[in-house]
Amino acid sequence: MKFKKSLAILMALALPMAAEAHRFWVLPAATVLSGDDPWVTVDAAVSNDIFYFNHFPLKAHFLTVVKPGRSNGEMLNVSEGKHRTTFDLNLTEEGTYKVLMDSSGLRASWETEDGQRKFWPGRGEKPEPGDFEKKVPKQAKNLKVSHSSTKLEAFITAGKPTDTVLALNNQGLEMKASIHPNDLFTGEAVELQFFMDGDAVEGVELVIIPDGMRYRDSQEAIELTTDSNGKVSVEWPHAGRYWLEAEYEDDKAKAPATTRSGKYIATLEVLPQ
């Protein structure tokens, strides 16, 4: 069942992400809360401009809420509109929560004998286990098989930050920060390290864009590439919310794939000193 859901998510995201301008994200109204009964509202969308609702919603069933103790949380008051999905979280446990989207699956392309280009899965197709073996010819002309993964994360802390939900699962492209994601401040550099299937990797390309790009002449993007230890250092130019996207590809895939690629996306909030 998990296999089917992961591939369905991957295919659902493939079409909107085909256009470079379309980015997907989740945006908590706040990332650090306190009090006896904290609640937070979260928006989820795909849009041209960062944190601006102008394309279509990122559906709630693609997302999972992980509580500080690693059990699943519940999305309350879910509403899907034309341009965004909105839901509430009641933070009943002290510590750090994670809103997560995690998907992966195989993709293939080849040419028929008469020169037509074929793709699997097709547009709108939801693969079932065993479909790859049934629908992708083993000896096709110019056959290319890749394994793709996408991970999206946002972190919300009630009370004291905790690290349980930050643990890596060694699948796809993942990020480890030297400072807790809900403890970021201006004037304090953070070291980010990226892993592909559990191994630190060089050459991960990052773009970090601050909120408010709709009202600027430029994106003010921070562009970085990881070193031989999979690390980059980030200094935040000002307080606010940031959208981070990292991408990586190599030829170390497991058969039947010949290439593997990973995408990692996070929403981060940086507070003033």
Instruction: State pLDDT tens for residues 243-272.
Output: 999 999 999 999 999 999 999 999 999 999
Domain residue spans in the chain?
2-104+146-271
Give me the mean pLDDT over the 71-95 stretch: 97
* pTM score of the predicted model: 0.87
CA angle 14, 208, 52 (to 5 degrees): 65
**Residue 6 confidence (pLDDT):** 46
Q: Is residue 101 predicted with pLDDT exceeding 50?
A: yes
pLDDT at residue 3, rounded to an integer: 41
pLDDT, one tens digit per residue, over 105-130 is 999 999 998 889 999 988 767 778 88
pLDDT in tens, 192-229: 999 999 999 999 999 999 999 889 888 999 999 999 99
Q: What is the pLDDT of residues 144-163, one digit of tens each?
A: 999 999 999 999 999 999 99
- Architecture of the structural domain at 2-104+146-271: Sandwich (2.60)
Residue 14 pLDDT greater than 90, yes or no: no
